[in-house]
Amino acid sequence: MVSPLLAQLPVPRAALGEGPCWDLAEGALYWTDIPAHRVHRLAADGMHTAWDTGQPVGAIVPRASGGLALAAKDGFWALDPGGGQLTLLTHVEADLPGTRMNDGACDRAGRFFAGTMAEDESPGAGTLYRLDPDHEVTAVLRGVSISNGIGWSPDESRMYYVDSLTHSVDVFDYDAASGAIGNRRVFAAAGGGEVVPDGLAVDADGDVWVALWGGATIVRYGPDGRLRQTLEVPATNVTCCAFGGPDLGTLYVTTAAGPGTGGALFSGQPGATGLPPNPFRG
């Protein structure tokens, strides 16, 4: 399939753009620049807003009660975009100053999954956590190196997950009633060498779209794990992707500084429709 042309959007370039998330209620895209400690918003009318969070933010999700929930340096936080106030929901690894939270997403029940990684990328130093709506935190997977993309199949029978240094997208059986995962196996090999899988998005047909850091591409796998499409990105370090727009037919792509138009935010129409983003229900 021919890759659609991605357009660069008129927003500031990021040092490490990550975590794009569409807010259906607002009709706006949120994303983060991790080392700059900034959360960005792009409204449908093109208005750009940013907030200084004072710490790295790896993932952003809408909050059902209003505002946003963040996976940040030392735990889960709430952000009120109206006034910019940050409120701690719960600490995670506050006693480990060498780690920070990275990518994350919510299931339909409103559980917020997000993982940690070592700032120096030491192998096995991270953990994948689940924040339930009652704010209880559970470690669901230990020994992670760079915890990254998370998503679910349309029927939520599967959870897809990326630990970047494994060079694969893995899949778990998922129990939507309890949020438990099991039976981990490789869904698709991705990248190799300095090219590693990063964030991901799942569309309404169950295809899995994966950003390749160092590879200047988004790769699309069918539910059977077979490569269906390669979408070229004019930046080498592609970090994540998310579907948005009124019909969820726009693919937004974040990137980091590096060769090409590194750090830019892109969008395009890939001919697929995304799943509605799930809010945190705490």
Q: List residues with catalytic annotation.
A: 198
Please give the CATH number for the structural domain made up of 7-268.
2.120.10.30
Distance CA 256, CA 263 (A): 4
| pLDDT single digits (tens) 232-253 | 999 999 999 999 999 999 999 9
Two tokens, residue 183: 């039976």
Cα angle at 226 between 159 and 158, to 5 degrees? 15
pLDDT at 83: 87
Q: What is the 3-state secondary structure (H, E, C) of 44-64?
A: CCCCEEEEECCCCEEEEEEEC
Two tokens, residue 277: 């983003």
In angstroms, the Cα distances linking 209 to 150, 205, 239 are: 11, 11, 12
Record the pTM. 0.96
Strands (E) in 73-177, as ranges, are 75-80, 85-91, 99-106, 112-118, 126-131, 137-144, 147-152, 158-163, 168-175
| pLDDT single digits (tens) 144-154 | 999 999 999 99
Domain locations in the chain? Answer: 7-268
| pLDDT single digits (tens) 28-38 | 999 999 999 99
Select from 142, 196, 145 the least CA-distant residue to 169: 196
SS3 at position 165 = helix
Select from 240, 31, 23 the least CA-distant residue to 40: 31
| pLDDT single digits (tens) 106-148 | 999 999 999 999 999 999 999 999 999 999 999 999 999 999 9
Task: Provide the phi-psi class of 187: left if phi over 0, else alpha when psi is between -120 and 50, else beta.
Answer: alpha
